[in-house]
Amino acid sequence: QTYRNTHSTLAYLIQPAAMANDLAAIHKLVSSLQANPKANANNVVHLTAAINNPSSTEAIVRAAVQGLKVYFVGASQDGDLCSDDAQTAAGEAQDVYRQWLRRQYASYISALLGLLTGAQHPASIQVSATSALMEAVRCEG
């Protein structure tokens, strides 16, 4: 059992494009990210990849957008997206984490903008992307 769980996790890390097409896998990534945001922060990378993957279904993109929206709103409220000069004196590990998180946030925003500027995306995906962008603007302001 342990080998199989480790093996499936490794397979996911090795082949994110293939796993990103599995809606159940996306829901699992979102659930674990919401349950323990800092411990499962690497899920952000996979969810952003699912948004950017041209073979992702509409349901997968919408689930990834919604999950990341909730995650980044929480991170913003926790102060983890603050700029370097706005941060309080934190440990080096916390600073590294915040810098990494800001890069992931920028990738997420870029992916959302890509959904809006791509004519090939259905209106429902563009509405989800617009909603997520507006929520991001609200949290930044």
From first to last of its 141 residues, the chain has per-residue pLDDT tens of 333 444 444 444 444 545 555 999 999 999 999 999 999 999 999 999 999 999 999 999 999 999 999 999 999 999 888 865 545 555 788 889 999 999 999 999 999 999 999 778 899 999 999 999 999 999 887
State residue 87 phi and psi, 5-degree precision. Answer: -80, 150
Global pTM reads 0.80
Q: What Rg, from alpha-carbon coordinates, does the chain have?
A: 15
Nearest to 15 by CA among 63, 50, 62, 57: 50
CA distance 75 to 80: 5
Name the nearest CA neighbour of 133 among 66, 82, 34: 66
